[in-house]
Amino acid sequence: MLYNRELSWLSFNERVMQEAQDKSVPLIQRLRFLGIYSNNQDEFFKVRIANLERLNKDKKKKDKKLSGDVTSTELQRKISRKVLESQQKFEDTYANILAEMKTQGITIINESMLTAEEEAFCKNYFMEKISPLLVPLLVRKSVKLPLLRDESIYHAVKMESDNRQASRYAIIEIPQNSQSPRFTVLPGSTPAQTRIIFIDDIIRLCLDDIFFMFSYDRIHAYTFKFMRDAELDLDDDISKSLIEKMEDGLTKRRYGRPVRLVYDKDMPEDLLDILIEKLGLRNSENLTPGGRYHLMRDLMKFPIVNTELEYEKVPPLRHPAFGINSSVFTTIRQQDVLLHYPYHTFNHLIDFLREAAMDPQTDSIYITLYRTAERSKVINALINAARNGKKVVVLLEFFARFDEERNLANAEILRQAGIKVIHGIPGIKVHCKLILVQRREGSRLRGYVHVGTGNFNEDTAKIYSDFSLFTSRKEIAEDAEQIFEFLQDNYKQLKTQTLLVSPYNMRDRFETLINNEIKNAKEGRKAYIYVKCNSLTDEDMVMKLYKASKAGVRVRLIIRGACCLMPEEEGFSENIKGISIVDKYLEHARLMIFYNGGKEKMFISSADWMNRNLSRRVEVGIPILDKEIAANLKDTFSIQWKDKVKARNLNISRINQYIGTRPFSQEDLDSRSQIALYNYYKTRQQQQDNEK
């Protein structure tokens, strides 16, 4: 009764590819969705497939059944078949988009299609910008291959001679930085006629300039990429600090075991054989033939050449509760405030921290950080607070996958500013999105709290859909203080009265609420559960929802990514319906609603319903106590549930079918939830501004 997590996740990534195939999506944005798909697929192999391969090497776990009643070996075979099918769909989709781009005057060309003027430009560009960055490696069968980075792409080069001399082989890392971006707009391009070339092909054009010292009759370059196991292994040397162990672990990860090779399907067998041998992938099932170009996540950075072929940029809204040049604290003292990014501006949260940093009454700021922007305004505000004499305590989670190096650097920057940096609980990630600001008001400290579903990252807040709740309720501030005391001294026992905290009471609270709905349904009373989250893979929670369905509880699920629950299956989930929404914003918010006999209980949370979130991470959820905010969130769920443009079915027999029919009617188009939500918040802002 469980759908396999990995296969479900691959279905999610297929929904991302559907956006690239959807002709109602702006053309260049479709190209960017292919980049998102490619990036997702790479991370899947580096994390999930690498983990499966480790299971296969463990004799005790090799034949153990996983979710979906398959062994790791069986699952790997299923994944390999699905990935090969998806790779072909990717290539076909990319070719179709390129053909459509030509009709709009945008052509991606290769080195054989250059005019004389363009060729001269490319050769000069190569000599000035690219050549100084190249370090070609000659490849010999008897010589070990130097370290190759799995975040890069490479040309595998073959030099052939007609006189039967042995072929020579080489590898060139294709540089990527601000000085040599992946795509170059060629001179003479106009909005009506734009010609673009990959840096890969500029290097192909200039192969003779790189290997001029060798004698050959033919030279060809074939692109490849590979992925390493992304597991971060830390040694148990008690003489080393956590930071030293992290730095050592990150170094080891650069040498991690290769788990996948994607290569140009036209690569000669002898060259491919050398690569497979040198990378240690001789017995791997994850060898994927592809097209001429790889590391296609770079499509996310495709140059803006025609704004009419991009999504229209809409400005984020000011929340009507926060007036211009007014105190954030005064507002939060008077009422709870819910922000919904990216519809609302993230600047309100920055204003909250900046005001706390300069406010003479601010005593202390406590915050958890998981992922931050590259030039983080959040970190700048915290540093400013410390310089203004405030006590600042930052729980910085080092183990945010792929952001570890940035977090190590941030820790040093914060420490140098005099900020206390703590690392949480050994073996448990701190994933909650919590802020506590304490102000001295009269004779006591008053707490102002933020609980959210997404990271304190002003960059991703423009494209991730998340909730942020601000409150100064005494009971919540006391709970937040308890949590931060516990994170600093976790030998203490943690007890919270209002906030839900995993792995301590969140699972129990949700299970109690589900049991209550089951009881009410069995007694013939109205009962429902609405859940919106990124992933639903925790077996116990899935079984609870099946039990609720059998009892007659109406269950509605909006799950963006992996979902192990199988909706609308006879005998155990007839009363459960599930959809997934993939659109221009990444659906990242978590919301849980329980009918509770007519006295609805509602929560937002940093936790998905996954075993890791409920059992192995510190997460925080908050009950919605303000009636207006509760109504707002209920509207939000309803708007998304009615989406007939971007919602897909999660029922296994109809998985990824669009809920609406095509072509769309105007009524269907009006139901597109992300546009409807923006209009919903805009209307609310106008109404409340008019009332003032």
**Average pLDDT of the residues in 585-603:** 97
- In this model, does residue 620 exceed pLDDT 50? yes
Task: Specify the pLDDT at position 52.
Answer: 80
Dist CA 462 CA 509 (whole Å): 32
- Residues with catalytic roles: 431
Residue 611: what pLDDT? 95
Specify the pLDDT at position 265. Answer: 94
Asked whether residue 215 carries a pLDDT value surpassing 80, the answer given is yes
Pairwise pLDDT comparison (1 vs 557), residue with the higher score: 557
Give me the mean pLDDT over the 340-357 stretch: 98
* Poorest-pLDDT segment among 128-142, 350-364, 635-649: 128-142
Q: Which residues contact 214 (CB under 8 A, 6 or more apart)?
A: 159, 168
pLDDT at residue 496, as a whole number? 95
What is the rounded distance in angstroms from the CA atom of residue 304 to the CA atom of residue 307? 7
Q: Using a pLDDT cut of 90, give the percent of the chain over it.
A: 74
CA dist., res. 348 & res. 681, Å (int): 15
Q: For 409-426, b where at least 16 C-beta lie within 10 A, e where not — what string?
A: ebbeebeebebebbbbee
Domains recognised in the chain with CATH numbers: 1-104 (1.20.58.310), 128-181+198-303 (3.30.1840.10), 328-498 (3.30.870.10), 502-691 (3.30.870.10)
Share of residues in the chain with pLDDT > 70 (%)? 94
Closest CA to 663 of 21, 23, 17: 23
Identify the bridge partners of residue 153 per DSSP, sorted by sequence position: 174
Beta strand segments in 231-361, E: 258-264, 287-290, 337-341
Q: Kindly report the pTM of this predicted structure.
A: 0.92
What is the DSSP secondary structure assignment for residue 584, as one 8-state letter?
S
Average pLDDT over residues 633-656: 96
Q: What is the pLDDT of residues 2-24, one digit of tens each?
A: 999 999 999 999 999 999 999 99
Q: What is the mean pLDDT of the chain?
A: 91
Q: What is the pLDDT of residue 282?
A: 83
Distance from C-alpha of 611 to C-alpha of 622, rounded to nearest angstrom: 19
pLDDT score of 174: 94
**515 within 8 A of 551, measured Cβ to Cβ:** no
Compute the distance between CA of residue 312 and CA of residue 383 in angstroms, rounded to an integer: 36
pLDDT of amino acid 60:
58
The arithmetic mean of pLDDT across residues 406-434, rounded, is: 90
* Residue carrying the six token digits 């109504």: 631
Residue 654, H or E segment: none
Strand, coil or helix: 144: coil
For 90-108, what is the mean pLDDT?
Answer: 95
- How does residue 27 score in pLDDT terms, banded at 50, 70 and 90? very high
pLDDT for position 239: 47
pLDDT for 482: 95
Poorest-pLDDT segment among 100-109, 525-534, 606-615, 658-667: 658-667
Q: For 129-143, 529-543, 630-644, which range has the lowest pLDDT when averaged over its residues? A: 129-143
* Res 570: pLDDT: 93
Average pLDDT over residues 659-679: 91
Preceding amide of 503 cis, omega within 30: yes
Torsion region of 534: left, alpha or beta (phi above 0 gives left; psi -120 to 50 gives alpha): alpha
The C-alpha R_g of the chain, in whole angstroms, comes to: 27
Q: Which residues of 4-19 are buried (b: 16+ CB within 10 A; e: fewer)?
A: bbbbbbbbbbbbbbbb
pLDDT tops 70 at residue 232: no
Cα distance between residue 469 and residue 446, in whole Å = 17
Inter-axis angle of helices 347-358 and 377-387, to 10 degrees? 10
Matching residue, tokens 């709009």? 104
Lowest average pLDDT, out of 94-103, 164-173, 542-551, goes to: 164-173
Beta strands in 455-587 (DSSP E): 464-471, 500-502, 528-533, 554-559, 576-581, 586-587
pLDDT of residue 491: 67
Q: Number of C-alpha atoms within 13 angstroms, CB side, residue 557?
A: 34
Nearest Cα residue to 612 out of 514, 507, 538:
538
Q: How many CB atoms lie within 10 A of CB 640?
A: 23
Tokens describing residue 305: 């050449």
pLDDT at 56 over 80: no
Assign 55 a pLDDT band (cuts: 50, 70, 90).
confident
Tens digit of pLDDT for each residue in 247-264? 555 555 565 778 889 999
Q: Stretch 387-411: mean pLDDT, rounded?
A: 88
Cα(557)–Cα(592) distance, rounded to whole angstroms?
10
The answer to whether residue 402 scores a pLDDT higher than 80 is no
User: Which band of pLDDT confidence, cut at 50, 70 and 90, is reported for residue 238?
Assistant: very low
- The pLDDT of residue 249 is 54
Q: Which residues contact 571 (CB under 8 A, 6 or more apart)?
A: none
Tokens of 675: 């546009």
- Kindly state the average pLDDT of the residues 326-334: 96
Among all chains, which residue has been given the structure tokens 């030998």? 491
Choose the weakest-confidence range: 187-196, 299-308, 441-450.
187-196
